[in-house]
Amino acid sequence: MDDHAHKFIKGKQLRPESLMMSYGYRPEWSEGAIKIPIFQTSTFVFKSAEEGKAYFESALHPDRDQPSEESGLIYSRLNNPDLEVLEDRLTLWDEAEACTVFESGMAAISTVLLELLNPGDVLLHSEPLYGGTDYLFKHILPRFGNKTVGFKAGCPVEEIEDALVSSGASDRLGVIFMETPANPTNSLSDIRACADWARRYSEERRVLLAVDNTFLGPLWQHPLKHGADLVIYSATKFIGGHSDVIAGVCLGSAEVVARIRMLRTFLGTSAGPWSGWLLLRSLETLKLRMTCQMKNARYVADFLADHPKLEKVNYLGHLTEEDPQHGIYRKQCLAPGSMISFDIAGGEAEAFRFLNSLQLFKLAVSLGGTESLTEHPTTMTHSELDPDEKVGMGITEKMVRLSIGVEHPNDLILDLEQALDNV
Ligand SMILES: *Cc1c(COP(=O)(O)O)cnc(C)c1O
């Protein structure tokens, strides 16, 4: 339900953060409640059999033209008020036509790819990837007859094309999937260059570009504006932001999102009303949280940058003009975000001593929440990657990942300082 009228004052469009408390919901629908209630219900009662028939027709054949008043609530695996309002609000940040939410980030990624790929198709993807995505691509999709071909994050399009050609199936390119910035290295891939290449490459059959925007979005990077067809999030991270909900999001054109929503209905990967309600609450403070985290991360990264016990710090705010990644950053990122990884001098023993010494930072996977977290990618989130490949991607025993929260930056630095002193 596009609440178009409520988006404007005197013809001027309001910014997303001004709409996160109200867009898509009217208190008169729920006894004047200022907040949308949790519609904890599995099914919805039809006024008549004719109405039920019309709702099914419109939900399962969105392609057939029909008046919008014939669409309505049926069953919570298909639609639910908390999810519909959430989806409307999420479209605002990325200026997307449509949105669909899932029970996890992995549910979003797997549903999107199962919808877009046919058996025999090639999936081209950036590397490194989040560990769960890497496993899906390398161990599960091949069982459905898909070939997956990786390219190094940030490489020129000629190298992407070479990787595809040497796979021997260059006529079967199905989808391009990009995770930028990449988890855990922060390496960037050029969204615009890849989108333009994909369009040139696939004149007859349109190849779609999907971008996992979990690390910077939806505040600091908007892939749809740079030519991507779909944006995917683990909403467990910044969108949820309080480490208390698992969820995923996919945004894009109404046409493609309708296809993905249909498969979501039949795979049963949609989010439940309680997750939807928690995310609505989270969205109200999204900008506040992400802005605070981004500022804190700069203080922390500045402290880490010249620390004698560290060899290398991966932080987008410290890219230098000479770094080819800097050009990509300038083109598509609005701020450096709040993810940092670094190499500690030594190896696993030194990394573990550091991790075990932290007091304010919690040792846990996940990211983007209000509390600062740290983990050891090669033995935790990225433990299942091919050992040789991951060293090539820079994911070594020395690497530690930080997600910066909303604490006082001096306290975060104090904790890092004492933990590094212990190494
Ligand atoms: C966490 C994460 C995912 C997976 O999301 P879940 O909500 O845990 O299923 C996907 N991509 C990235 C970049 C992530 O950090």
Q: Are 178 and 167 in contact (CB under 8 A)?
A: no
Ligand 1 atom with minimal separation from the 367 CA: 15
Q: Are 252 and 98 in contact (CB under 8 A)?
A: yes
Would you say residue 293 has pLDDT above 60?
yes
Q: Which atom of ligand 1 is nearest to the CA of 132?
A: 4
Section 382-399 average pLDDT:
93
> Rounded mean pLDDT of 175-188?
97
- How high is the pLDDT of residue 69? 66
Cα 101 versus chain centre, distance: 11
Q: Averaged over 35-59, what is the pLDDT?
A: 96
Distance of CA 409 from the midpoint of ligand 1 (Å): 26
**Is 332 near ligand 1, meaning CB less than 6 Å away?**
no
* Dist. CA 247 → ligand 1 center (Å): 9
The alpha carbon of 223 is separated from its chain's Cα centroid by a whole number of angstroms, namely: 11
How many whole angstroms from 184 Cα to the centroid of ligand 1? 11
Name which of 120-124, 203-207, 407-411 the model is least confident about: 203-207
Mutate to test the pocket of ligand 1, among 136, 236, 395, 403 (most ligand atoms within 8 A of CB): 236
pLDDT of amino acid 5: 55
User: Do the beta carbons of residue 342 and residue 313 sit within 8 Å?
Assistant: yes
DSSP letters of 66-115? --GGG----BTTT--HHHHHHHHHHHHHHT-SEEEEESSHHHHHHHHHHH
Asked if residue 2 has pLDDT above 70, the reply is no
pLDDT value of position 68: 63
The Cα 396–Cα 377 span in angstroms is: 8
Q: 201: pLDDT confidence band, cut at 50, 70 and 90?
A: confident
DSSP state, residue 387? H
Atom of ligand 1 nearest to the CA of 214: 13
User: How many whole angstroms separate alpha carbon 282 and alpha carbon 242?
Assistant: 8
Q: Which of 146, 169, 1, 197 is nearest to 80 (CA)?
A: 1
Which of 191-223 are b and which e, b meaning 16 or more Cβ less than 10 Å from the residue's Cβ?
A: bebbbebbeebeeeeebbbbbbbbbbbbbbbbb
| Ligand 1 atom having least distance to the Cα of 179 | 13
Non-local CB neighbours of 176 within 8 Å, separated by 6+ positions: 123, 124, 125, 194, 198, 207, 208, 209, 210
- Our answer on whether the CB atom of 100 is closer than 6 Å to any ligand 1 atom is no
pLDDT band at 303 (very low <50, low <70, confident <90, very high): very high
pTM: 0.96
pLDDT at 1 over 50: no
Binding site membership of 403 for ligand 1 (Cβ less than 6 Å): no
- Residue of the CA atom closest to atom 1 of ligand 1: 234
**Ligand 1 atom 4: residue of nearest CA:** 105
Tell me the C-alpha distance between 341 and 268, whole Å.
Answer: 35
Lowest mean pLDDT among 163-172, 186-195, 237-246, 324-333: 163-172
Q: Is the CB of 246 under 6 A from ligand 1?
A: yes
Q: What percent of the chain has pLDDT over 70?
A: 98
Question: Where does the pLDDT of residue 4 fall: very low under 50, low under 70, confident under 90, or very high at 90 and above?
Answer: low
Beta bridge partners of 56: none
Mean pLDDT, range 395-419, rounded to an integer: 98
Q: What is the pLDDT of residues 69-94, one digit of tens each?
A: 678 999 999 999 999 999 999 999 99
Both tokens assigned to 302: 């500045």
Helix axes 348-357, 409-421, angle to 10 degrees: 130
The residue with tokens 């985290």 is 293
Nearest C-alpha neighbor of 160 from the set 194, 199, 109? 194
User: Does the CB atom of residue 213 touch ligand 1 within 6 A?
Assistant: no
User: Quick one: which of 280, 287, 235, 282 has its CA closest to 36?
Assistant: 280
Q: Is the pLDDT of residue 3 over 60?
A: no
What is each CA distance from 177 to 209, 336, 384, in whole angstroms?
Answer: 6, 22, 19
Centroid of ligand 1 to alpha carbon of 231 (angstroms)? 13
Mutate to test the pocket of ligand 1, among 104, 106, 127, 232 (most ligand atoms within 8 A of CB): 106
Q: Which atom of ligand 1 is nearest to the CA of 107?
A: 9
Return the percentage of the chain with pLDDT > 90, whole number.
91
Could you give the domains of the chain?
88-274 (3.40.640.10), 286-421 (3.90.1150.10)
pLDDT at 200 over 90: no
Per-residue pLDDT band at 366 (split at 50, 70, 90): very high
**25 has a pLDDT exceeding 60:** yes
Confidence of residue 46 (pLDDT cuts 50, 70, 90): very high
Q: Give the span between the Cα atoms of 96 and 209, in whole angstroms.
A: 15
Q: What pLDDT is stored for residue 12 in this prediction?
A: 94
Centre of ligand 1 from the C-alpha of residue 245, in Å: 12
Top mutation candidate among 111, 187, 237, 245 for ligand 1, by most atoms within 8 Å of CB: 237
